[in-house]
Amino acid sequence: MPSLFSQAESNFLKACGLCRKKFSPEKNIYMYRGDQSFCSDDCRCRKILIDELREEIYLDEMNETATMELQTKETLLSSSTRLVTNVGIGLPPRRNRVEVAG
């Protein structure tokens, strides 16, 4: 392991941001918004849907618990340093706020 990533990779690029499955080196990692990573395109799509739902929920204030859970997970994920190496990048169809490699 390169020492460059010793701290930064604590969560990011180790486990899927949705199902928490650990990534295997042979498989692609799917990025979303540049700081979230998923084991499959399916998980990433679900996360995108969840984000959209979360925004609706937030606006409606119908389900505070779900919103808080999601925000906590997002905080954990986004606190990791952004790094993109050896990643199968498929940009989401919209929401082009993805940042790749600085």
- For residues 58 and 67, is the Cβ–Cβ distance under 8 A? yes
Tell which one of 4, 10, 14, 19 touches Zn ion (CB under 5 A).
19
Measured distance CA(51)–CA(54) in Å, rounded: 5
In angstroms, give the least distance from the CB of 30 to Zn ion: 9
Query: Taking contact as CB under 5 A, which single stretch among the options 1-9, 43-51, 64-72, 79-87 is the one that binds Zn ion?
Result: 43-51
CA neighbor of 92 nearest in space, from 53, 50, 39, 34: 34
Pick the piece of the chain touching Zn ion (CB under 5 A) from 18-26, 44-52, 77-85, 88-96: 18-26
